[in-house]
Amino acid sequence: MTLTPIFAMKYVPIILFILVLTGPLLIWHRLTRAMNPREHANAERLVVVTPHNDDIRREFGRAFDQWHQQKYGTSVVIDWRVPGGSTDIRRMLEAAYQPYRVNGKLPPDTNVGLDVIFGGGDFFFDVELKPLGVLEPMHIDPALLKAAFPQPTLAGVKLYDLAKSPDGRPAPSWIGVCLSSFGIVYNPDVYRSIGLPLPSPEHGWHDLTDPRLAGLLALADPAHSGSAAVAYQMVIQRNMADAESALFKANPPMAHLTRAQQATNVQYQAAIAQGWKRGMSDLLKIAANARYFVDSSTIVPNDVARGEAAAGIAIDFYARVTEETVGSNRARFFAPIGATAITPDPVTILHGTHGRRLELAQHFVEFLLSVPGQRLWQLKVGQPGGPFERALRRPPIRQDVYNDRTGWSDQDINPFQTANGFNQRNDWMALFTDSRPIWVAAWIDSRDALKHAYATILRVLNYDRRQELIDSLADLPINMSDVESLRRQRISMQASNGDVDAWRARQQLQWASRFRAHYADVERRARDE
């Protein structure tokens, strides 16, 4: 049949337009079927809830399926559920399990159709998920657990939950599968253009307090970014650890106090409070240099790479992926030596997972702890056993895999050395929740007053006087005892079912007012110079 000219004029353009739209989809469909030939046939399904990005989901989904076929003879498709960040995951689980609770507890046969939680950080698993009672004790092969964790902690931070089942067997409620650290991402080109020496791992966080970086730091809002907030807490904890070390050096018997004795020893508590105060001062100087505070920490490395900021505080793998994408002249990352939190990113099996689903969930945990699963975090694209599309660039949690770095993206990475004996102190992390609103009040709610005071100080010509005024600005009218008091009030209010959010908002407003008055007072003194 021959098409008439009128038909061709009317319909051929429409047909071509449809082909342009659907052609790429047909090609993608064929490619995904070729990469996962059994995905649409007899593959089994595992439901995994995660905050991880698309790169991690794609590469681990593909690698687990291949590993499972080789070891267990069946294909497994991961049904990823991505409700958002860790807060969104907690809300999702609360809603899913709430209808099944009886007198606040979950029956053993509860089934919400979710099998595994993969990622979110140890603080999230311990503080937010555990109290919900939704973490299933995991019966992992003790030999695998021992091989993966010859030591259960890294500089005092546990790498997996040390729980046991009633029969005495290890049955952790969560297990770390990779490590996260926090550090400084910077743009060497910008530093050279403003004549500043490059920041260094040895100087660490202190390099960001340099007033020549005024308006040149990219920072995340601690109220929205949990990872950035942990990094800020490490600035304080490093100062607290330095104060503790100085006390022990001056008074060696103090080093033998137990944690319980430290909690009631006046001299020890005074030294730690001074360290906390110095940490808050460092943070204020860093905040004063900020160009902005963004909601998401993922924005920070990108803006540094674009030259919109000289440096910023970032989580390790976001910054390393950015460095790989744009080149080391525009973005570099390091974790400050002995001054950063190096913490596990866990996996867990959810309550109610049973039967074949439980077997698949245990296989998934087994794969994540295996040498192939661990090496996937670091291998370059195209390396045997490596990613297909983009390197993930996260530190594995198994120390033994660092012995062979063939094909790795980061040849110099070793968090077991970077820790250098320092890591997040859980007893000091007790202040974390109540410190975040204080930071917001000081840096964000009072932003204009802080900027005006800082700008006025930087115009003071005499160097010594200028530095003295910066120190005065950073000497915030707050002490560690104030945050401890806030913590006690919050706990009491929670116990009595009070409106904690409303109370916290009022407290934040009051502190912001106090900080603005402080900034205005220092600004007046600077104007008199």
pLDDT at 340: 78
Report the pLDDT averaged over residues 99-123.
89
CA nearest 43: which of 2, 75, 91? 75
pLDDT at 41: 58
Any idea which residue has 């010859």 for tokens? 150
State the sign of the Cα–Cα–Cα–Cα dihedral 351, 357, 361, 362. Answer: positive
- In angstroms, rounded to a whole number, what is the distance separating the alpha carbons of residues 287 and 218? 9
Report the pLDDT averaged over residues 406-420.
81
More confident residue, 190 or 34: 190
Compute how many other C-beta atoms are within 10 angstroms of the C-beta atom of residue 252. Answer: 9
Return the SS3 of 472: helix
- In angstroms, rounded to a whole number, what is the distance separating the alpha carbons of residues 352 and 358? 9
CA nearest 177: which of 128, 132, 138? 138
Q: Domain 46-178+344-418 belongs to what topology?
A: D-Maltodextrin-Binding Protein; domain 2 (3.40.190)
**Whether the predicted pLDDT of 36 surpasses 50:** no
Strand partners, 183: 314
List Cβ neighbours of 309 (8 Å cut-off, separation of 6 or more): 187, 190, 216, 217, 218, 291, 300, 303
**Whether the predicted pLDDT of 476 surpasses 80:** yes
Return the SS3 of 283: helix
Report the pLDDT averaged over residues 89-104.
90
pLDDT at 109: 85
* Inter-residue contact 383 to 366 (CB < 8 Å): no
**Whether the predicted pLDDT of 113 surpasses 80:** yes
Return the SS3 of 411: coil
Maximum Cα–Cα distance across the chain:
101
CA nearest 84: which of 223, 224, 182, 232? 224
Report the pLDDT averaged over residues 486-507.
90
Any idea which residue has 């007033």 for tokens? 211
* Burial (CB count <10 Å: 0-12, 13-18, 19+), residue 182: buried
- In angstroms, rounded to a whole number, what is the distance separating the alpha carbons of residues 310 and 286? 13
Percent of the residues in the chain that have a pLDDT greater than 90, as a whole number: 62
Domain segments of the chain as ranges: 1-35, 46-178+344-418, 427-529
CA nearest 205: which of 90, 76, 311? 311
CA 146 to chain centre: 26
pLDDT at 37: 39
DSSP secondary structure string, 355-410? HHHHHHHHHHHHHHHSHHHHHTTTBPTTSTT--SS------BS-GGGGG--TTBS-
pTM of the model: 0.77
DSSP annotation of 295 reads: S
**Whether the predicted pLDDT of 5 surpasses 60:** no
Compute how many other C-beta atoms are within 10 angstroms of the C-beta atom of residue 132. Answer: 15
- In angstroms, rounded to a whole number, what is the distance separating the alpha carbons of residues 90 and 92? 5
* Inter-residue contact 109 to 352 (CB < 8 Å): yes
* Burial (CB count <10 Å: 0-12, 13-18, 19+), residue 201: middle
Q: Among 153-162, 197-206, 333-342, whose mean pLDDT is lowest?
A: 333-342
- In angstroms, rounded to a whole number, what is the distance separating the alpha carbons of residues 305 and 320? 11
HEC assignment per residue over 299-345: HHHHHHHCCCCCEEEEEHHHHHHHHHHHCCCCCEEECCCCCCCEEEE
Q: For the chain, what is the mean pLDDT? A: 88
Quick one: pLDDT band at residue 417, thresholds 50, 70, 90? confident
